[in-house]
Structure formats: C-alpha cells, structure tokens
C-alpha cells in the first residue's frame, strides 16, 4: 500500500458543534452540583481551542482544578458526547458520505483524530463510516499527544508513501508537512483563516475534496 487519505474527525467529517454545547453544559452542571464550579459554562472558550488535545482543553477550561478533577470532568464530557451522538443530535457535514464512498474506490481511508477512542467509535458506528474507513487512530495512542506522530503511526503501520491529510486546524496541516504528505483544509466551523493559509489546498464544501484528489491521482498515473 502506498497512497492513502487521512482524515481528521471533529470539524472535518463530523459537525461537532451540534453536540458540543449540550455535552459541555451537562459536564459543568455536574461540576456545579458537586460544588466544583460556580460560573457559567465556558462554551466560547472551548470553541476557541477546539482541536487541541483533551488534556490541554481541561487545563484551559479549569486551570484551578486538580489533575484528578480534570480527568473526572473529561470522563463525564466523553460520556455525554457519546450519549448525544447515539441520540442522533450530531451530524456529518454535507457530502461526506457520498465523497467518502467515491474516494474509497481509489484509495484507502484512515482517521487520525484528537478524539478519544470511545467517542470516535460512536461516530463511526452511528453513521456506518466503517463502510469506507480502514482504521481509526486516536491521539490516545501517542504518549506525547502529537498529531504529527499520530499521522506517522498511520504511515508506518500501513506502509504509506504518499497521500493527504484532510482537516480543519493547524495541527492537521503541520502533521501533513512533517510527514511529507499534502494537506487539504476544510473551511468549516472551527477553521481559522491564518491556519488554513498553511494548507496546500483549501475547500469550502466537503465534496470539493474529490476533484483535488482525483486530479492528483490522474497526474501520478
């Protein structure tokens, strides 16, 4: 196997914003119930840092809390996210299923995400993404929580030589660069213009990924 496509999940395939607010509100309601939080839920702050490893999320949202409380908060958050997914409150971006189906006819598809395994599996199962995706990789598999190293793991395990990393944040584009792959940025909910400028290609609709890759395949042939 030499060529492949590596997708990010949150803000790339999955519309995380549809479940984010509800799950975060539930988490901080639990914290308030245990007298561990008194202010409103810091939803806007989380949106600003969306895409960073979860340890950084809780360090940012709850800087005054101990490591144990942050870990417990994250466990609650993950449980609520999965519940939201299973209740059908999330959604894939428009064109994802059709585009994945067409891309999978030419190249194997993998996921490399900062999300935790149970959360990622809930999305894959609920939307039947395993029809097209070969394997899902979580940042939890990398001790340093470095996205570039996670993508490197995908490359090594699957003996890849060329390919694409498709995502919405700088860590995705940097992971592509660090591993000599091309990057495609999606200008969706959490994307930032300054970060998108570092990608090799940028699209405004998910289906626009298809002609870019099809053209590159044609050139390589």
User: From CA 27, how far away is CA 42, in angstroms rounded?
Assistant: 11
**Strand 133-138 versus strand 182-186 pairing type:** unpaired
Least confident of 88-102, 108-122, 129-143, 203-217: 203-217
Domain boundaries, the chain: 3-15+91-220, 17-86
pLDDT tens track for 160-217: 999 999 999 999 999 999 999 999 999 999 899 999 999 999 999 999 999 999 877 6
CATH code given to domain 3-15+91-220? 3.40.50.1000
Return the closest-CA partner of residue 166 out of 52, 1, 2, 4: 4
């Amino acid at each position: 196997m030499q060529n492949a496509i590596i997708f990010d999940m949150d803000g790339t395939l999955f519309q995380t914003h549809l479940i984010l607010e509800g799950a975060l509100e539930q988490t901080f309601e639990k914290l308030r119930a245990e007298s561990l939080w008194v202010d409103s839920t810091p939803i806007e702050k989380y949106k600003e840092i969306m895409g960073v490893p979860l340890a950084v999320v809780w360090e940012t949202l709850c800087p005054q809390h101990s490591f144990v409380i942050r870990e417990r908060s994250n466990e609650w958050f993950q449980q609520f996210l999965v519940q939201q997914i299973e209740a059908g409150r999330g959604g894939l971006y428009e064109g994802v299923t059709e585009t994945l189906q067409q891309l999978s006819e030419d190249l194997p598809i993998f996921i490399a995400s900062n999300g935790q395994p149970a959360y990622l599996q809930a999305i894959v199962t609920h939307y039947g993404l395993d029809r097209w995706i070969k394997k899902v990789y979580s940042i939890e598999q990398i001790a340093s929580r470095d996205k570039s190293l996670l993508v490197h793991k995908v490359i090594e395990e699957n003996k890849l030589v060329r390919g694409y990393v498709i995502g919405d944040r700088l860590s995705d584009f940097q992971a592509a660069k660090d591993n000599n792959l091309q990057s495609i940025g999606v200008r969706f909910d959490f994307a930032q213009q300054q970060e998108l400028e570092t990608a090799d290609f940028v699209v405004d609709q998910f289906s626009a990924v298809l002609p870019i890759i099809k053209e590159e395949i044609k050139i390589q042939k």
